[in-house]
Chains A and B, each alone.
Chain A
Amino acid sequence: MSKPVIRAQDLLVGYGGAPVCAPVTFTLAPGKVVALVGANGSGKSTVLRAVIGLLEPSGGSLQVFGGPVDERDVGFRTKVASVLDDDAYFPALTVSEHLYLTARGHGVHGAQDVVAGLLAEFGLTDHAKSLPVALSSGQRRRLLLAAGFVRPRSLLVLDEPEQRLDRAMRDRLAARIVAEKQSGGAVLLATHDPDLLRAVADRAVHVADDVTRVLPTDQAADLIARENP
């Protein structure tokens, strides 16, 4: 069995020493998708931020690629791609230039072709030369998601990737994530979408105040459906 990409044991996350949820325990192996589910404010995004090194864990242990999380390490940044809800863009860079910057920044050869392919896949070809200010909220979200796929990675971390996407794009995203795990990549995502969960996840972790539980995908999807009728 291959080494887990993420191993979280009684992981406590929070701000100023105050945890935002119960301790979290899960492992994520290569070629697998783990979804974090739970109500708004339950701490899903905070767990994700700890995994990618934007937040110091308050307790427990967290290992990514067999070691402690250190996003200052160039090797870590090479292997971990993340798409959070960062709605920030260079105002003077076009859509394709944002993606080109990311691809070239990771040393991707033939970045123009890679970017062109992703623009088509995420329905942004017509907006390739648009500045971010001219994009709709959903288009900006697609740009962020495309940036996660335009670079090499071993672990992909997605925070509610379904937000601001229409149904067709959600389906395309699900297919992309399935392809990701079939290629051997590990994906950790937080989601409120039961359909996306069923389509891509191998397991789910229900994050809550009192206790966090690892759940089968269908059970977690039912839970989400109940929480978000």
Chain B
Amino acid sequence: MTDTVGTHDDEPAVQPFDLGDVPSAKSIRRFTAQAANARGGANIGDLLSSVYYAVISIAISVGLALGFAQAMRASLPPSPDVEAPLSLSLATLVVVIIVALAGALLSLAGRLGPVGAGGAEAAWWLGLPVDRRGLLRPAARRLPLLAGFVGAVLVALLDAGLLADPGLRVARVAATAALVAAGIVLVAAVGQSASVSRRSIALAGDVLLFLAPVAAVILARVGWSVDEVPGAPWWFVAALVPVVTLLAVVVDRRLGRMPARSLRESGSVATQAVGAVVSMDSRELGRALTDGAAAPVRRWVSRLRTARGPVSALITADVVVLRRSARHVVQLVVAALVPVLVSTVPQLASSVGVLLALLVAGSVAMSATGEGARRAEMAPILDRLLPIDAKTVRRLRMVVPAAAMALWSVVAFAAVGRWASDVPGWIALGLASTPVWAAAAVRASYRPAPDWGGALVSTPMGALPTGVATVLARGPDLVVLCLLPVWIAVLLRTVNATLLYTQVILSIIAVAVASSIRTRSLMETLMDAQEQERAGARR
């Protein structure tokens, strides 16, 4: 027996082994990967096939997006000669969107780590006495590269689609966006290596995301706009390359100094988030991104003074959940400002543009308000402790979303009312539609897990798993159907009593639907009944 590694004269060690050199981190990774490949039955043909399909899928997606951008470019009206009293140029809006995207990216990078070692890697790799840089390099490269690619595509689409800029300029803007996006993730990684908490990085991103639309509203108020997105010259793009490279080198050098606790936490969040994306479970994704950056301990303990009985306890719990999640509050505010901004940009302020803005922004805001219901669906502790029946619980869970969406409606529909020259009428319609948003939030929160065992329907875009689609449609279905009076009013650009009364009736129907505690859809129930009838007839 010999011992050659890590002993001091006065530190007896239990090393009943012959010890030699520690292998390189690369060989550890290779050993793990080779075993996985061997067991997975993967060969070089499968790998090439997967790469081929990935490239083709990305190319088709980018092509579709470019086609959409071109169609949008062709359909946008020219900029008006006379400026409205409260207006924002399209280029200013694009700048605001780009800044908001940067904030969202920083927030996401902070929540995901951005460098992490999930489950098995954390348990079996991080304890080895090998250079951690070699173990973590692939994980450290993944997110900056992905951010660079997505950033380039998104900004190129905005530049080419909304602003109709020439190709060379689009290429330059896309290159700049790729470098800046990768740089943002790398800055977050530098912060992580310097033990800056993931919560702080995420909060910085959330603040940027919050400030972007607020600044845009202020700019619209003071009448300041830019005529075109400030384009960086090629020399600037070239200068960004060494800066980003330097950041990448700094991150690489510091990978070995990243504490295991940070890597474990980040890896755990990333694993949960990727799993949620693969299984198309947006609730799980939200939980991963929110919980990962949540403060472990509350500085102030809420006294919950408003909880004076089962009903108020349930509502108070939902209020506390929403109040404590900065991400959802930011999401709500940003979503309220989207219709305001769209209705102030002359080229976008068409009926279709405003309708899309209301639909998308309303859905985003609705999703933020349903956090209490989503958590209750996952862990219905309070629901089961309190002496309230399940249907009433569902109804009570709509109270906080309804209150939050009422605030959202006042801001968003006031903007639409200004656009349509009838602010009181539109605010009334907005408030009448509030229960639909709340009902949709609760219905989406309590939806069952996606059913991957359902029938596949062949479509030109590939197989559609109907079981998953049915589940994912729970919630959005109410938005589409029960807000028909709002959509019609936007398209007609007018509100009348008929639309208002119809909206009230549909809101009542939406609340009734969302109060249902049945987990199966009407179609599934009918099919089950049919199946039972057939079985009975056979007997």
Complex contact A54–B36 (CB within 8 A):
no
Inter-chain CA distance A48–B65, complex, in Å, is 52
Complex contact B15–A153 (CB within 8 A):
yes
Inter-chain CA distance A52–B167, complex, in Å, is 56
Question: Which single member of B5, B16, B130, B296 contacts A15 (CB below 8 Å)?
Answer: B296
| B101-145 to A contact mask, C-beta < 8 Å, 1/0 | 000000000000000000110111101111110000000000000
Question: Which single member of A16, A102, A109 contacts B18 (CB below 8 Å)?
Answer: A109
| B1-42 to A contact mask, C-beta < 8 Å, 1/0 | 001011110111111111111110000100110011011100
Question: Which single member of B23, B123, B127, B297 contacts A89 (CB below 8 Å)?
Answer: B123
Inter-chain CA distance A88–B15, complex, in Å, is 26
Complex contact B15–A152 (CB within 8 A):
yes
Closest chain A residue, CB of each to CB of B38: A92
How many residue pairs link A and B with beta carbons under 8 A? The number is 153
| B41-53 to A contact mask, C-beta < 8 Å, 1/0 | 0000000000000
Closest chain B residue, CB of each to CB of A148: B127
Interface bracket on B: 35 or more
Complex contact A53–B259 (CB within 8 A):
yes
Residue B257 CB within 8 A of the other chain: yes
Complex contact B260–A106 (CB within 8 A):
no
Complex contact B22–A90 (CB within 8 A):
no
Complex contact A102–B122 (CB within 8 A):
no
Inter-chain CA distance A131–B35, complex, in Å, is 11
Complex contact B129–A77 (CB within 8 A):
yes
Interface residues in A3-37 by Cβ distance below 8 A to B read 3, 5, 14-18, 30-31
Complex contact B10–A77 (CB within 8 A):
no
Residue B327 CB within 8 A of the other chain: no
Residue B295 CB within 8 A of the other chain: yes
| A210-229 to B contact mask, C-beta < 8 Å, 1/0 | 00000000000000000000
Query: What residues on A are CB-neighbors of B40 within 8 Å?
Result: 92
Q: Could you tell me the distance in whole angstroms from the C-beta of A173 to the nearest C-beta in chain B?
A: 15
Complex contact A79–B6 (CB within 8 A):
yes
Majority secondary structure of chain A interface residues (helix, strand, loop or mixed): loop
Inter-chain CA distance A108–B15, complex, in Å, is 9
Q: Could you tell me the distance in whole angstroms from the C-beta of A149 to the nearest C-beta in chain B?
A: 9
Query: What residues on B are CB-neighbors of A31 within 8 Å?
Result: 12
Query: What residues on A are CB-neighbors of B384 within 8 Å?
Result: none
Inter-chain CA distance A132–B11, complex, in Å, is 35
Closest chain B residue, CB of each to CB of A181: B14
Interface residues in A164-192 by Cβ distance below 8 A to B read 180, 183-185
Name 6 A/B residue pairs within 8 A (Cβ), A-sorted: A15-B297, A79-B7, A90-B124, A98-B124, A106-B19, A107-B5
| Further 12 A-B residue pairs, CB within 8 A, beyond A71-B260, A97-B35, A109-B19 | A2-B10, A31-B12, A56-B261, A75-B6, A78-B5, A86-B122, A92-B36, A101-B124, A102-B124, A105-B23, A108-B17, A152-B19
Interface positions of A (Cβ within 8 A of B): 2-3, 5, 14-18, 30-31, 49, 53-56, 65, 71-72, 74-75, 77-79, 81-82, 86, 88-94, 97-98, 101-110, 114, 131, 147, 152-154, 156, 180, 183-185
